């Protein structure tokens, strides 16, 4: 019922009519591995198929984002860890993950909407070591290239690690993209910042970091794969949010591979790009 009512065809039409050209779709490993994946809900592969059909109809591109890998790559609930455990990185879990990448790339490589495969979302340091991650990324990259030379291959930075740690590695891989996520949330340095201080942080700190990460003459490209127009400011006005969102769009719009908002729909209004656009908080210019 949720799948059939939450994201519907009209949402893809909305996306295409509002200056956006792609969707980043998070998937779990069980989408490819097991048709009856207890305790997960059966049927996600058919929903992904449907999303591709809508994307093709409305001339949108699709990034498949492996958001939950076997064993959990970060220990958070959005990677399907129920108890905080982070067990991805063993030989068995990596082999399983390669199988997932193989299956999904093979299934969608011939779709005109297939833009990129994101090999893993937000692996977390130090549990996911850099050496382990780079070996996985190399093997998964090679797997994607078995089926397509045109699709981009996106490699997400590790949480709690240097934003530049993948640049040298990825620069040797044609069609590679490094994914960085920027939130003015989740760390104490944003506590107590007012509206202008948050905007200044974007224009100074974020802009400088993005310029550093994205300074390799096009190889690899850089995606700001997640951001949101939300912050720790209390009682902010609509105009405050508009200014903040405009600053984010200005800075993140410089990324060589573009950006993706987290997320299209959410019960919390500012986390819903659809709500933000409909209510005049964000204006996307194509």
Phi, psi of 218 (to 5 degrees): 90, -5
Please report the pLDDT score of residue 219 as a whole number. Answer: 73
Please report the pLDDT score of residue 285 as a whole number. Answer: 76
Please report the pLDDT score of residue 37 as a whole number. Answer: 80
CA nearest to 265, candidates 11, 83, 80: 11
Evaluate if residue 199 carries a pLDDT over 70.
Answer: yes
* 241-253 pLDDT, tens digit each: 999 999 999 999 9
Q: Once rounded to an integer, what is the mean pLDDT over residues 176-193? A: 95
Q: Rounded to two decimals, what is the model's pTM? A: 0.96
- Residue 208: partners with Cβ closer than 8 Å, 6 or more residues away: none
Q: May I ask the CATH class of domain 2-161?
A: alpha beta
CA nearest to 74, candidates 61, 90, 62, 85: 85
CA–CA separation, 263 vs 269, rounded Å?
Answer: 10
Domain ranges of the chain: 2-161
* 158-167 pLDDT, tens digit each: 998 999 999 9
Instruction: Check if the beta carbon of residue 229 is closer than 8 Å to that of residue 270.
Output: yes
CA nearest to 97, candidates 77, 79, 119: 119
Q: Which two tokens stand for residue 235?
A: 């009682």
Please report the pLDDT score of residue 286 as a whole number. Answer: 59
pLDDT bucket at 216, cuts 50 / 70 / 90 = low
Please report the pLDDT score of residue 33 as a whole number. Answer: 82
Between 169 and 218, name the one with better pLDDT.
169
- Residue 10: partners with Cβ closer than 8 Å, 6 or more residues away: none
CA nearest to 90, candidates 42, 145, 127: 127
Mean pLDDT of the chain: 95
Q: Which two tokens stand for residue 39?
A: 């305790």
Evaluate if residue 217 carries a pLDDT over 80.
Answer: no
* 4-36 pLDDT, tens digit each: 999 999 999 999 999 999 999 999 999 998 777
Evaluate if residue 236 carries a pLDDT over 70.
Answer: yes
| Percent with pLDDT over 90 in the chain | 91
Please report the pLDDT score of residue 166 as a whole number. Answer: 95
CA–CA separation, 33 vs 102, rounded Å?
Answer: 11
């Amino acid at each position: 019922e949720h799948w059939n009512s939450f994201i519907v065809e009209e949402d893809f039409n909305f996306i295409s009519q509002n200056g956006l050209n792609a969707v980043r779709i998070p998937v779990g490993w069980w989408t490819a591995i097991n048709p009856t994946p207890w305790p997960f809900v059966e049927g996600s592969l058919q929903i992904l198929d449907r999303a591709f059909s809508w994307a093709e109809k409305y001339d949108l591109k699709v990034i498949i984002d492996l958001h939950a890998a076997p064993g959990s790559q970060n220990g958070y609930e959005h990677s399907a860890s129920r108890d905080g455990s982070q067990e991805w990185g063993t030989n068995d879990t990596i082999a399983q993950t390669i199988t997932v990448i193989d299956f999904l790339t093979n299934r969608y490589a011939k779709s005109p909407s297939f833009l990129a495969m994101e090999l893993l979302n937000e692996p977390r340091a130090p549990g996911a070591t850099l050496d382990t991650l780079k070996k996985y990324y190399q093997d998964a990259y090679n797997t994607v290239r078995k089926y397509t030379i045109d699709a981009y291959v996106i490699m997400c930075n590790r949480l709690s690690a240097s934003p530049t740690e993948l640049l040298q590695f990825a620069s040797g891989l044609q069609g590679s993209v490094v994914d960085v996520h920027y939130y003015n949330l989740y760390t104490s340095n944003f506590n107590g910042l007012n509206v202008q201080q948050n905007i200044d942080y974007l224009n100074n700190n974020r802009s400088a970091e993005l310029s550093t990460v994205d300074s390799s003459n096009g190889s690899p490209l850089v995606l700001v794969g997640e951001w949101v127009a939300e912050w720790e400011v209390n009682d902010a006005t609509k105009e405050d949010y508009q200014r903040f969102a405009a600053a984010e769009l200005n800075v993140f719009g410089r990324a060589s591979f573009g950006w993706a908002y987290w997320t299209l729909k959410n019960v919390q209004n500012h986390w819903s790009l659809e709500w933000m656009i409909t209510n005049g908080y964000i204006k996307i210019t194509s």
